[in-house]
Structure formats: C-alpha cells, structure tokens
Amino acid sequence: MPQMPQIPMDRYHFLARLLHWLMALGFVFMWACGYAMSSLVGEDTPLEELLFGLHISGGVTLAFLLILRIALRLVLPHPAPVAGLSRWEHIGSQLGHLALYLLPALVIAIGWAETDFGGHSVSWFGIDMPKLLPTTEVLWGWEVEEVTEVLHRWLAYGMLAVAVVHVAAVVKHRREGHDVLPRMTFR
C-alpha cells in the first residue's frame, strides 16, 4: 500500500491525539493497578481478584487501541519533525517514540503470555479472549509464569521510565521555545 505524502500541518490528526491521551490514561491506570495488585493488597483476596480482572481487561483494551494507533500512524498524515533540534535530539526523539510503540506491545504480549502460562483466562470485561499459549509450568528448566511475570513488571517499569523522559522532553522543548505540546492537545 503506498504511503500518503507528508502534509504540512502543525498538529496530529484528531484520532491520533484521542488515542494518545486514551492510551496515556490507560497506562497510568495499568501501572497503578499493577502496583496495587502486587504490593498493596493481600494475595488471593477479593480485591486482588477485582484488580486482576480490571488489569487484564485494561490490557486487552490497550492491545486493541495500540493496534489501531499503529494502523492510523501508518495512514494518517502527521507533523514534520520539530525544527531546530540537534541531530542527537532528533535521534533521541525517534528512538523514544519507537520505544513508546514497542514497549507497550511487549508489555501487553508478555502479560498475555504470563496469564496463559499460569492457566488463567484472558477476558475482556467477561468476554473470553483466545488462549494463545498453553498452560505450562516449566519450559527448558524455567518456571515460565514467574519469568514472564518478572519480564512484564520490568518492561512496564521501563515503559514508565520512557514515558517520564517523554514528558520531560516536552517540558524541555517548551522551555527552549519549541513548544510541541499543542501538536498533541485539543486546543
């Protein structure tokens, strides 16, 4: 499919902005829910089960939104890179944005794998999703549910760190006179 030519514009398409902010809110909820589940509430309590169900449903929702966001990124026009950035800032921007697509995909996929390997069902607010991986306790000597749990947690923390750097870069650009926030707001 041929790509659409770049159309000069000063901000992202409405749908891209809407998905950006919905996903940002979704991931803030997911980090809070995951932290509460693993650190603040008792194991196997009704509250943990409620949080687990919300966390899984949120992950499925974010998986669909991420697929939609990637598809829209490929077909919708978007603003040109910010003028006046150094070569390293431009490279950092490109790598940061790439990480903000790849890390969520990895976190979601590994979370789904953790759920499948552990013998739990992935459901979206009560609607069963396909089981993609078999229930497996040990694979090649590794306790796979534990391994995927650790990977899921640390990749989620890594994604949080990239998001913090992303917000810090927006603040930095604003202070330097390259205000990029209006490109992603609904002003």
Q: Measured between alpha carbons, how far is 37 from 122 in angstroms, rounded to an integer?
A: 17
Instruction: Indicate whether 8 pLDDT > 50.
Output: no
pTM: 0.87
- Stronger pLDDT, 157 or 82, i.e. the higher one: 157
Mean pLDDT of 22-43: 94
pLDDT of residue 138: 65
Q: Averaged over 113-138, what is the pLDDT?
A: 88
Domain boundaries of the chain, sorted by first residue: 14-176
| pLDDT higher than 90, residue 127 | yes
